[in-house]
Structure 1
Amino acid sequence: MSAEEAAAWPPLREELRGIEPYGAPQLDVPVQLNVNENPYGPSPECAADIAAAAGRAAVTLNRYPDREFTALRVALASYLGKDAGAGDVTPEMVWAANGSNEVMLQLLQAFGGPGRTAISFAPTYSMYPEYARDTHTRWVAGRRASDFAIDLDAARDLVARERPSVVLLPSPNNPTGTALPPDAVSALCQAVGDHGIVVVDEAYGEFRREGVPSALELLGTHRNLVVTRTMSKAFAGAGLRLGYLAADPAITAAIRVVRLPYHLSAVTQAVALAALDHAPELLGRVDELRRERDALVDHLRAEGYQVADSDANFVLFGRFADRHAVWQGLLDRGVLIRETGPAGWLRVSVGTAEETAAFRTALSDVQREPIGERA
């Protein structure tokens, strides 16, 4: 085999050659604040109920699961209606998949594709262009304002110019933590019209501040609106891998065309239902994490850092002349955060009070060194 032939193996799609797979560093350190997990796991009682539900599902594994996951859709619809004051969210409006990543991919499979365009506004979630790439959807990224808000005039111009089939709007935004006001969502739904869908990604929706509404409240107004959620964050179910959405029933019906057969296992459905039965407990630490987040924002600003307003369970702060050196300095002290977002910024997840204190101490130590100098 020639060197040229060896370099061509395996016969990968050309546009994928040399691309590193997505993923945050997985390192065994004392304080892990890099992937926006809920630091509080389920109680022994909750874990026992989840295990029992999985056990009951296990004796049926010779049969395919309910491909419509009917009971789970009923439970998710009930939860969404209560959480956001969204009114009538019916089971027919709900869809679920293996994490919000698969939900997003299915949306791009159904509504994107060759000859179609997806847009968002940077800085934004780094997986969005990968969903577009994997579905052969053209990707266009507009820019956010300096405060990470969306300039509606510029956004409307981009929609008019590109005529996207899919608009992806994380709210709260990852990595900045900023939420979208309802009028911005409505304006973009109106601008897109019937030639596309507007997806508001509320993966961190339960962490929004008091008085910040959910886009779920707009579902009855805009039939092209899709609101996605996940059990990974506020529900402390990152290992569960259950994402879901609410939308017009015509949209959920369209997704069935591209979903893989029996894509949600019987165990996943059973565990998710058991977790929803314990929603008050699993969500019981959300208020505490909000307070910890707000206190962290205040602390970082008092220390002279630039900090983005956050409605999520993480904080984006900066700016650093050499953010990687700061990241490494924190890691050397046993604290792992995320090197992501605009140049010069870092993102830290909100952990327990003890973890946040460890982060503050480590950052203070790094700050005293030359590498801690800000841009």
Structure 2
Amino acid sequence: MKLLWPWLALFYGYLCETATAPSQIGNLLDPIAPETLYPVLAEVGDQLYTQGCLKPFMSVGGTLLVAMDGTDSFSSEKISCPCCTQQTLKNGQTLYRHTVVTPVIVAPGQSRVVPLPPEFVRVQDGVDKQDCELAAAKRWLTTWGAHYAPRGITVLGDDLYCHQPFCEAVRAQHLDFLFVCKPDSHALLYEWLDDFTRTGEVQTLEKSRWNGKQRLTERYRYLNQVPLRNSDDALMVNWCEVTILNAKQEVVYRNAWATSHTLDEHNVIDMVAAGRARWKIENENNNVLKNHGYHFEHNFAHGKQHLSNFLATLNLLAFLAHTALEWLDEAYRAVRHAAPSRRTFFEQFRTLLQFMPFDNWQHLMRFMLYGENLIPRKT
């Protein structure tokens, strides 16, 4: 983990700077494209895979689940830079944004997620159609698909991703997909499902479980080989659905997915669990980045070139570094668990680095664990 320390030091050093005016460190970082950091993010994830940390994340078909979603790292009606995309609001004002697709490895039952290299929505000169989340996700597949394909990957996404061009882009990289599939955006597919339901060809499965408060009934339906769209060249996909009813037989949850995995009675329950794990990109990734000490949407500095996107990527790298350290560094894990919250840990970490010199990472961790008897002293 020695590679991570300089980046962590740089990141936290920058957080200690003012975020309200241009600083020298901002001027130095502004020309650096965020892509400079992508190989570092990839390498950390690769090391976690190589050292077996991701074995508990293996899911349907022996694959890793990579959830994709777009989120804002910055938005303002007043501050902008040449890298901002623009959106005209209903009040006529212009909203300036930095949007990024943040792929993360998730798994049912796992509280951690593993960020992968991101892909930013870009300003594209000379192009009539603005860049968007889906186009950024396709670029990510082109850039990183071949890198991750040998491990076995199932891409997760909401209904935005569940359309033929993107599904074909996933399959072209030898990856699988499992996307939310809504009736209002897949009319033909659901017409086929209605027909096959009437003929009894849609397979069903039911189980009950106790959630600690009441007994729930889970009803699964699935069908293989239905067309994703209304065209002669329609991609044939496999469909599954879960409906959860409470003790009063009231529907408390319903969702459906389209997938490239063949479905049967042995894997449909696990497939649904994998599909529902997509929410971890919101809860364990985006929410943590924005509300639990990383301040992902905070304008640390905007710059004139790449600064905002570079700092957002550095933020993702810090989050990944902390995740890796919890797996691989026993002292760090003890320090984190001793802190009341992630935010408290960051405050202690920054304060110590501002006022005290430490010989190395291990020295800092020992001091945070055992206290003042390890204060560095001049000889």
Q: TM-score, normalised by structure 1?
A: 0.27
Could you state the TM-score of these two structures normalised by the residue count of structure 2? 0.27
Greater Cα radius of gyration, structure 1 or 2: 2
